[in-house]
Amino acid sequence: MQFNTALSWYYTNEYAYYRLGSSFRYSNKGLNVSARAAGQQFNLRGRFAPDQNSATFTDVRRSFFAWVPNVSLNYDLKNNRYLYSGYNVEVRLPSTRDLQPVVDNSNPRFIREGNPDLLPQLTHRLNLGFQKFNPANFTNLFFNVNYGYNINQVVYNQTVDTLLITRTRPTNISGGKNVGSYLGFGFPLKKTKSNLNVNTSLNLGNNLAFVNDVLNRTRTTNVGLGLRLDLTPSEKFTLYTNANVNVTHARYSINSSQNQRIFKYTYGAEMNAQFPAKIYFNANFNYRIFINRRFDFDHRVPILNLAVYKHFGKANRTEIRLTAYDVFNQNQGITQQATQNFVSEERVRTLARYFLLSLTYNMRGVKAQMRRGGGF
């Protein structure tokens, strides 16, 4: 392998944060109000060059200041019912990669360039929620809705030439917004033996970016549905199962032919069993499916981890464990997302199948009772 100076850069960065603020809290008859206000100063100092031993470096020195308010309200409605709401401002600094005025042509069909004049992104966020728990029948209910509005959002404007070569550069734009909601409900099928939890979520996004100097609106709809069933028939056997479906629909105002749906399915199960002579067994299975028909992408990743372990000695302080990770040798890091004016798919090489023999000594000792996660 030969080092390519034309495609490589060396850089160092230092971030310094200074924050000064004050807070106020009020409580009366179940009502709790908290208000905080602070000023934050961000200082960025960076240097970059084609090589670590370069004679000259280019400096990036930026300072940012932002007011960061935070107001929260919690109200106890009695009988294990709670209402809460809040408002806050989130600050997100530009990434080091985006700030460097460097042309990245490692992909000659998709050329990136940084922008040292980027400003921090501010998100004004409102949220409202309600939760309830009934100790008599062990049912629980949780609901939340939130809204965010972006100022100086970092977006990636694109220019596509006649040869279909895309050049992208990050800039700031205001007006992007999102709305999200979550609903969860859980109840026992049989007290202390089995429990069922169901949840659903809906998130709507509206982001702005320019393509060939034309404003493009990317509207995303993300719908999620989850199910979890816990079975604990005895102290010697437990089984936890879950299933989640997530669908993202991206729609583009400039070229609707690029509209697409991204599907992600996740199924999981975990079993714990206790055998005589203080021997225990744990199995953890996770099955992920990624589908995007726009690019004929259909990938499935089954992951199985197995472990057998034994406790011995005084107060069960010593544990010897043999674990097999990724029995099927299928592990891969895959992410798909649709944001602003592009869709990204990333695959990362990860550590696949391996075995581990470990010996652990716990000075406090452990109780002979299983818990979720294959341990004590």
Dump pLDDT digits (tens) for 333-368.
766 665 555 566 666 667 778 899 999 888 776 665
Handedness of CA 201, 202, 208, 210 (dihedral sign): positive
376 pLDDT band, cuts 50/70/90, is very low
Greater confidence (300 vs 51) lies with: 300
CA dist 252 to 48, 238, 292, 303, Å? 36, 47, 16, 35
Which residues are 218's β-sheet partners? Answer: 207, 252
Judged against a pLDDT cut of 90, whether residue 183 lies above it is answered with: yes
Q: Residue 99 is inside which H or E element, if any?
A: helix 96-99
Span 275-299, mean pLDDT? 90
pLDDT for 87 equals 97
Pair 307, 323: CB distance under 8 Å: yes
φ, ψ (nearest 5 deg) of residue 355: -120, 145
Residue 247: pLDDT over 90: yes
DSSP 316: G
Whether the CB-CB separation of 260 and 247 falls below 8 Å is answered with no
pTM, two decimals, is 0.78
Domain boundaries, the chain: 21-41+59-361
* 293 secondary structure, DSSP code: G
The predicted pLDDT at position 4 comes to 65
pLDDT at residue 164, rounded to an integer: 84
Q: Which amino acid is at 324?
A: A
* Residue pair 185/141 in contact by the 8 Å Cβ criterion: yes
pLDDT at position 343, please? Answer: 60
Please write the tens of the pLDDT for every residue from 64-102: 888 999 999 999 999 999 999 999 999 988 877 788 777
Task: For 339, list phi and psi in degrees, rounded to 5.
Answer: -140, 145
Q: How many CA atoms lie within 13 A of 312 on its CB side?
A: 8
> How many angstroms separate the CA atoms of 118 and 60, rounded?
11
- The answer to whether the beta carbons of residues 66 and 40 sit under 8 Å apart is yes
Average pLDDT score, the chain: 87
Percent of the chain with pLDDT over 90: 50
- Tokens describing residue 230: 């816990």
Superfamily for domain range 21-41+59-361: TonB-dependent receptor, beta-barrel domain (2.40.170.20)
Q: Are 208 and 217 in contact (CB under 8 A)?
A: yes
Distance, in Å, from the CA atom of 331 to the CA atom of 344, rounded to the nearest integer, reads 20
- Predicted local distance difference test score (pLDDT) of residue 345: 63
Phi, psi of 209 (to 5 degrees): -165, 160
- Provide the pairing of β-strand 214-234 with 194-211: antiparallel
CA dist 179 and 145 (Å) reads 7
Quote the pLDDT of residue 10: 74
CB 226 within 8 A of CB 205: no
